Amino acid sequence: MSGRFKGRRAVVTGSSRGIGAAIAERLAAEGADVVITARTLEKHDHLAGSLQETAKRLEQYGGTVGIVVADLTDEGDRARIIPEAQAALGGPVEILVNNAAAAIYAPVEGFPLKRRRIMFEANVHAPLDLASQAIPAMRAAGEGWIVNLSSGSAKHWTGPPFDIGVTGATITMYGASKAALNRETNGLAAELHGTGIRVNTVEPRAAVMSEGAEQLVGGKLRPDQIESMEQMVEGTLALCDCPADFTGRICVSLDLIDELGLTVHALDGTPQ
């Protein structure tokens, strides 16, 4: 454990399980004080993992760990996250990782409006709202890191014929929300350039088999279509302390590891 983030204050959304919980653990292992937030405090109705379980893992590293239970699809709920995180951390948020996402797969034709709204609330509106709450303190400090978790599903298929993979076109509206997040990230970075606030997205090159991914595509992918949780986290952490001119990027985890010559570490911060 290097102490790379010693004294830094971070918020990670969607951290009751999966990629968010792993990012939060690695930040804590590297010395950060971390607030974790999600809907599941104790137990989900069908997925493993909870905020309490994540907090227990983070506490072993000795830093401050705070919990904010909130539903990111609810405007009022998400308005509480940054203020409550600042209170728990004893100071302004310096690193914001917008990992939480709603992934609903269904045919494009007739995709229910209610479900489209849920995805765009969680995947597009919430990241911008949380960033907007955190930015004033970041601007005052002259530095800050905002990292949004995106998806390769944002890219268009070429064709015909179309190679639409194991999920078919049912991933389209989720991908549309992530394409919007990428554009939002790039525009916010351009607007904030010169303030010291970095805004980037990172997406996996291949599937990361979190609890949710296991339910959606488990058993349908070849080994070469999967990357490890540790690789995804390594790519994400590179954007949590990147230099000021590294901003507005739409990054791919494994490509970023290669570009920067990074060593992949375990979640406890030890080299693999």
The catalytic residue positions are: 150-151, 174, 178
Instruction: Say how far apart CA 24 and CA 144 lie, in whole Å.
Output: 17
Short-list 76, 70, 192, CA closest to 138 = 192
Instruction: Say how far apart CA 217 and CA 212 lie, in whole Å.
Output: 9
Instruction: Say how far apart CA 8 and CA 182 lie, in whole Å.
Output: 26
Q: Do residues 41 and 97 lie in contact, with contact meaning Cβ atoms separated by under 8 Å?
A: no
Tokens in use for 189? 């970075």
Tokens in use for 86? 């600042």
Instruction: Say how far apart CA 31 and CA 186 lie, in whole Å.
Output: 29
Other CB atoms within 10 Å distance of the CB of residue 141 = 14
Q: Do residues 149 and 202 lie in contact, with contact meaning Cβ atoms separated by under 8 Å?
A: yes
Angstrom CA distances, 197 to 26, 134, 238, 247, stand at 22, 10, 15, 8
Instruction: Say how far apart CA 105 and CA 166 lie, in whole Å.
Output: 12
Short-list 155, 186, 149, 159, CA closest to 172 = 155
Q: Do residues 241 and 5 lie in contact, with contact meaning Cβ atoms separated by under 8 Å?
A: yes
The dihedral sign for the CA sequence 236, 72, 16, 30: positive
Instruction: Say how far apart CA 95 and CA 266 lie, in whole Å.
Output: 20
